[in-house]
Each structure stands twice: as structure tokens, then as C-alpha cells.
Amino acid sequence: MIKLIKYSEYFMMAEFMKAKQEVFQNESGREGVDFIVKTKSGNKHELYLQILELDKQRSIKIPKQQLGELKDNLWIVLILFMNEEELGLFLIPSKIFTTPDDYIFKDNSQSEMFAHFANWEIKVFKNGMDELNKYRLVNQVQNLI
């Protein structure tokens, strides 16, 4: 798994460089932020990297307390793999979870007593791919302003 994580990091950085975006590892120590993208205009965007191996699972759950406050400059980078082959890189705005569609994006809230189990969920399935493809990096990079 460590090998797949390292590969994912390099793959993500290469894809952002192809999109002419400067990306570097987050050194601030803030949990829920793995990388920072600095745009040509000087704005910074926080990236939270997630890897989904489709031959093992069909959804990813992100603890709410780990991701933190949903904001315009916080993005989830989702890399899909099947049989160790990358299927694509998706750039999903964290704000999608302010009004999740309960189709691909879900809010798994918990009662106050179990709030530490609350999470955001991204489901990946064949019939949802048309919607998910809207979030491919090539379709979202223009939103990094």
C-alpha cells in the first residue's frame, strides 16, 4: 500500500504539472491537507489526497474532523485504481458536501455522542461515472483561480 501511496503522490504531482499548476507537499502540519497548489495568480489551494482501489472497495469515507471546514480553496484529490492501473485523477471541491447529492456524495452524520464517527463519503459505481467525470482534473483545473 505504501508503494501505491507514493506512486499516487507522484502521479498527482505530474498531472498538476501537466496542467501548468505548481504543487508541493504541505509542510504546515494541518491534518486533512496533503498538498498545496499555488496558481499563477498567487492563490493557494489545499489538497486532500484519497486513493480508491476499485478491485477492493467502491467508496471512500473521509472523517469530517480530519477534513475540517469545507471551503472554496479545499479540494479532495481522488485517484482511482483498478488492478494497480490508474483510471484517473479527480479534483472535487470540498464544498460539494454542503449539499451532497446522496448519489455519489454522501453526508454520514452521527448523533452528538458519536460525532467522531461522522464522515463524508464518495461512492464510485458504473452508473455514476458520467457525473463523477465532471470532476476530472482536466475539467476542474480552470476553477483553481
pLDDT average, residue stretch 3-19 = 91
Residue 86 pLDDT grade (very low, low, confident, very high; cuts 50, 70, 90): confident
Residue 9 pLDDT grade (very low, low, confident, very high; cuts 50, 70, 90): very high
CATH code of the region 2-143? 3.40.1350
Is the pLDDT reported for residue 129 higher than 80? yes
How many whole angstroms separate alpha carbon 59 and alpha carbon 120? Answer: 10
Is the pLDDT reported for residue 30 higher than 90? no
Residue 136 pLDDT grade (very low, low, confident, very high; cuts 50, 70, 90): very high
Residue 114 pLDDT grade (very low, low, confident, very high; cuts 50, 70, 90): confident
Q: Residue 107, class by beta-carbon neighbours within 10 Å (0-12 exposed, 13-18 middle, 19+ buried)? A: middle
At 71 the three-state DSSP class reads coil
CB-based contact 77:12 (threshold 8 Å): yes
Is the pLDDT reported for residue 144 higher than 80? yes
Is the pLDDT reported for residue 96 higher than 90? yes
Is the pLDDT reported for residue 35 higher than 80? yes
Residue 87 pLDDT grade (very low, low, confident, very high; cuts 50, 70, 90): confident
Of residues 116 and 60, more confidently modeled: 60
pLDDT average, residue stretch 24-49 = 88
Is the pLDDT reported for residue 99 higher than 90? yes
